[in-house]
Chains A and B, each alone.
Chain A
Amino acid sequence: KAGVTQTPRYLIKTRGQQVTLSCSPISGHRSVSWYQQTPGQGLQFLFEYFSETQRNKGNFPGRFSGRQFSNSRSEMNVSTLELGDSALYLCPPCRNTEAFFGQGTRLTVV
């Protein structure tokens, strides 16, 4: 059973636009991380948030940013979209170090 709801499930954007993805973990998960999954690169870590504070950041450009709210909901923003940002974005909440993945948001940049 997935521990998170991500919206929207599918999204199509144009190069140069910006996008905000939303992630609502099941209550009780104070930690949430974001990952980008692509066929060529696999799963790459973007950020980790714990109690509204960014605890870790991956090797992505500054166009990628995120935040977590007091109710554990999290958002990720990507500005000035590039074709290479097309990917599945995942935000599994974590409990006892285990990540609970959902279906993610599939972003297509055209």
Chain B
Amino acid sequence: AQSVSQHNHHVILSEAASLELGCNYSYGGTVNLFWYVQYPGQHLQLLLKYFSGDPLVKGIKGFEAEFIKSKFSFNLRKPSVQWSDTAEYFCAVNSYNTDKLIFGTGTRLQVFP
């Protein structure tokens, strides 16, 4: 069965620090990969997605993620975080022929000024 693991449950950073959130998935076939963000009191928004092609994907607000097929990983990165990045981040995967998303448990990011 598909599963997604997010290694960091709670991350605390100061502004301007670099961010990397880990995400590993288990599935043997072709997958689509996503990072969603949920700001306090708001609904889930798509940060970025990977379907195929260049494994380095750029998303909104300066985020990027790298798909490493051999490691079944899709880590999220940002070189310099801002206080406004405080939110919960979810990694998700689905197989190419379905819209069913399997989510990780989420990583809560707190950024202090």
A interface residue numbers (CB < 8 A to B): 2, 31, 33, 35, 41-45, 48, 50, 55-56, 58, 90, 92, 94, 97-99, 101-104
B interface residue numbers (CB < 8 A to A): 32, 34, 36, 43-46, 49, 51, 90, 92, 94, 96, 98-106
Minimal Cβ-Cβ distance residue in A for B92? A43
A-B contact pairs, 29 of them (CB 8 A): A33-B99, A33-B101, A35-B101, A35-B103, A42-B103, A42-B105, A43-B92, A43-B101, A43-B103, A44-B103, A45-B100, A48-B98, A50-B99, A55-B100, A56-B100, A90-B44, A94-B99, A97-B32, A97-B94, A97-B96, A97-B99, A98-B49, A99-B46, A101-B36, A101-B44, A101-B45, A102-B43, A103-B43, A104-B43
Contact of A42 among B43, B45, B94, B104 (CB under 8 A): B104
Measured CA separation A43–B36 after assembly (Å): 11
Q: Are B43 and A99 in contact (CB under 8 A)?
A: no
Contact of B101 among A99, A102, A103 (CB under 8 A): A99
A58: chain B residues at CB < 8 Å are: 100
Q: Are A101 and B98 in contact (CB under 8 A)?
A: no
Minimal Cβ-Cβ distance residue in B for A44? B103
